[in-house]
Amino acid sequence: MNKQTLVKTIRQKQSYLCVGLDSDIEKLPPHLNGDVLVFNKAIIEATKDYCVSYKVNTAFYESQGAEGWHNLIETFKMIPDSHFIIADAKRGDIGNTSNQYAKAFFEKMNCHAVTVAPYMGKDSLQSFLDYKDKWTIVLGLTSNKGAEDFELQKLANGKKLYEEVISKISTWGTDENLMFVTGATQASHLGDLRKIIPNHFLLIPGVGKQGGDLKAISEVGMNHDIGILVNSSRAIIFASSGEDFAEAAGKEAKKVAKKMKAIINSSNS
């Protein structure tokens, strides 16, 4: 999915919601007996009208061994082609290894995007960037406490490390194939970030259970293309642990989408 199509989808739906399929087998409603595929299918059906994207956190599948990998592949197949499909895999390795990761997620699983860690430099990302109409989503500024260990440290030039990293990486691709992850609890830094990458999309996790403020991050993070995908995982997919889990997820997604529509309309007025 190219940028033009993604922007068009967001504007048509008046939503920039990304639903995270962090389908922790230990948190599934008891009556499902651990059937991840039944759970995911019901969640997708209940939320697809309100979101434009799904982010599948591969760790929750990989941890289940061969069955988990089967569930991961089948989950990607369930997501409608009309939605932006993200493999939240956080890969990043030397070129030869990255070639295989890129092939796995872009060719074999047909994802539109994959998250990557940039620590090893340009050659570790190049394999992903080489794919046409695919997206490399780079970890930029995360919400975890450990962000203070490296990302928020000041360099000798006065910049914070995350600013230097994002500034450099933005020259390796374009706003047509590069996105950056920015945690929702880092709203205070979004203004500075937008000065560096005004036209790139941002993937913003952390709204919901992690406490990110949707209105605050939207007002600072949005650009002329709207330019953000806001992810909510647990707050939506685990809105209920009962037999009404899918209905509850749909209601929660609808609620978030309604807020997003109001924010978009407000920004256009």
β-strand partners of 91: 116
Contacts for 258 with CB less than 8 Å, ≥ 6 apart:
none
β-strand partners of 226: 223
> CA–CA separation, 154 vs 40, rounded Å?
42
Choose, from 8, 77, 90, 254, the residue flagged as catalytic.
90
Q: Give me 68's structure tokens.
A: 């988990």
> CA–CA separation, 190 vs 187, rounded Å?
5
Q: Which residue has the tokens 């995982």?
A: 233
- The separation between CA 251 and the C-alpha centre of its own chain, rounded to angstroms, equals 21
Q: Using an 8 Å Cβ cutoff, are 75 and 45 in contact?
A: no
Q: Is position 251 annotated as part of the catalytic site?
A: no
| Catalytic center residues | 90
